[in-house]
């Protein structure tokens, strides 16, 4: 499906990852069974270093609540002006009600604000953007708050060498608004449901696992490192899907938009792993200085949250010097994919990816006097975000790395 929208802009993005993290070097004698060469090869080729994972008592909605509050407060947006709340996640709090409804209450949104979940993973950010653009361009909404992310590590066996070193957790908050100016955004979305069982949690929902339906025999090869209640991925199939399908899909969206790829300022791909993104960029002959590819190494594969995380770390806290035209691409579970070409205006708001700690990062609904948030970036800066009487301040300090 290809569609063009003309009156929706992305105004701001905030991304949070859990404070807790694991460094791949610490797993030499567990997952890698003492094989130093295998560990170093994974670090070099796949780009794995650290991954941020949520404790069992932290859910995606917890991080979404904080991300939403930070974004709205930082941009001085009244809760009463939010028309729609969308939460894209595959790790909801409950089967019902929708986690978006729970967040609606915690955020203190008006009853005229409608809220719903979208069950999507790696391509979820693109699916959410498409829905938000549709609502705004149709006149059904002026302002949409879109939350996206998961705590998929809760479904990964820590001994699973194919998934445990890769999967991270995180949630983003994105504000989309109506604009009177013509701001063309081009989308193409698609799915291949014949391969639905290539990335799946077979057990835990309403259907009893059935070999007549889940026909991939590898799904049923369980062991101490993976049960049917854990996430399963056919790595070869997902890799082939990404590197064989995405280059063609990218070329199609470029053609549909009527521009040359060189005109784009940045190319943001789902950060599945470094090797996949490098491979796609090479096949498309893209300028790699415009292809951010550090997210997986810093936080792990954040599923649908990887694209906004990459955007946040790319643009950080420095205002844009000019309007940008960028491409976004997501691909994975479903199997699903999405591509878009859209604009970021100079007034686009973001901050570098932040760390979430339930003890020092405020949520919604409570009147907390003061909360603090620490952020350490890769260039030797510690930032302290302080929430005091519903206002945020930021102090930054240089340190010797």
Tell me the per-residue pLDDT of 321-371, one tens digit each, with 9 for 90 and over.
Answer: 999 999 999 999 999 999 999 999 999 999 999 999 877 554 332 322 233
Per-residue confidence (pLDDT) for residue 366, from 0 to 100? 30
- Position of tokens 């986690």? 99
Residue 373 near residue 37, CB atoms below 8 Å: no
Beta strand pairing status for 199-200 and 266-269?
unpaired
Selecting among 69, 104, 122, 339, the annotated active-site residue is 122
Per-residue confidence (pLDDT) for residue 44, from 0 to 100? 87
**CA distances (Å), 9 to each of 115, 116, 137, 271, in order?**
20, 21, 10, 23
The DSSP letter of residue 47 is -
Selecting among 301, 305, 312, 339, the annotated active-site residue is 301
User: Encoding tokens for residue 78?
Assistant: 């009244």
- The predicted-structure confidence for 210-219, as pLDDT tens digits, reads as follows 999 999 999 9
Per-residue confidence (pLDDT) for residue 46, from 0 to 100? 87
- C-alpha–C-alpha distance, residues 48 and 274, integer Å: 8
Residues paired with residue 204 on neighbouring β-strands, in sequence order: none
- C-alpha–C-alpha distance, residues 175 and 348, integer Å: 10
Instruction: Kindly report the backbone phi and psi dihedral angles of residue 289, in degrees, each rounded to the nearest multiple of 5, phi listed first.
Output: -70, -15
Q: CA torsion sign, 92 to 154 to 350 to 183?
A: negative
Selecting among 270, 273, 343, 387, the annotated active-site residue is 270
Per-residue confidence (pLDDT) for residue 119, from 0 to 100? 97
Q: For the chain, which residues score pLDDT lower than 70?
A: 360-401
Per-residue confidence (pLDDT) for residue 369, from 0 to 100? 28
Q: Is residue 122 annotated as a catalytic residue, yes or no?
A: yes
Q: Is residue 119 annotated as a catalytic residue, yes or no?
A: no
Per-residue confidence (pLDDT) for residue 157, from 0 to 100? 94
């Amino acid at each position: 499906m290809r569609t063009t929208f003309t009156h929706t802009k992305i105004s701001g993005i905030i991304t949070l990852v859990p404070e807790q993290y694991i460094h791949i070097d610490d797993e030499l004698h567990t997952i890698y069974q003492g094989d130093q060469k295998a560990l170093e090869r994974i670090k070099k080729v796949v780009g794995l270093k650290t991954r941020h994972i949520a404790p069992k008592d932290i859910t995606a909605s917890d991080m979404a609540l904080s991300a939403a509050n930070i974004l709205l407060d930082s941009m001085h947006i009244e809760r009463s002006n939010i028309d729609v709340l969308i939460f894209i996640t595959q790790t909801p709090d409950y089967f019902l009600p929708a986690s978006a409804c729970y967040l609606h209450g915690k955020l203190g949104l008006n009853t005229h604000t409608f809220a719903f979940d979208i069950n999507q993973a790696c391509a979820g950010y693109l699916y959410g953007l498409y829905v938000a653009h549709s609502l705004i361009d149709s006149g059904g909404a002026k302002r949409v708050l879109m939350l996206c992310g998961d705590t998929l590590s809760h479904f990964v066996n820590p001994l699973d060498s194919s998934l445990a070193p890769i999967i991270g957790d995180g949630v983003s908050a994105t504000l989309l608004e109506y604009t009177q100016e013509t701001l063309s955004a081009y989308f193409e979305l698609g799915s291949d449901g014949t391969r639905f069982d290539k990335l799946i949690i077979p057990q835990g929902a309403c259907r009893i696992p059935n070999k007549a339906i889940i026909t991939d025999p590898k799904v049923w090869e369980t062991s101490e490192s993976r049960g049917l209640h854990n996430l399963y991925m056919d790595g070869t199939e997902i890799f082939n899907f990404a590197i064989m399908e995405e280059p063609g899909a990218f070329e199609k969206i470029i053609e549909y938009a009527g521009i040359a790829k060189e005109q784009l300022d940045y190319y943001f791909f789902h950060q599945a792993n470094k090797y996949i993104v490098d491979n796609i960029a090479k096949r498309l002959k893209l300028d790699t200085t415009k292809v951010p590819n550090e997210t997986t190494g810093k936080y792990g594969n954040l599923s649908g949250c990887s694209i906004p995380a990459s955007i946040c770390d790319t643009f950080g806290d420095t205002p844009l010097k000019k309007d940008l035209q960028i491409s976004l691409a997501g691909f994975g579970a479903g199997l699903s994919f999405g591509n878009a070409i859209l604009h970021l205006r100079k007034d686009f708001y973001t901050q570098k990816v932040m760390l979430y700690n339930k003890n020092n990062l405020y949520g919604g609904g409570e009147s907390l006097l003061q909360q603090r948030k620490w952020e350490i970036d890769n260039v030797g800066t510690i930032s302290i975000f302080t929430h005091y009487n519903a206002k945020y301040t930021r102090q930054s300090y240089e340190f010797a790395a």
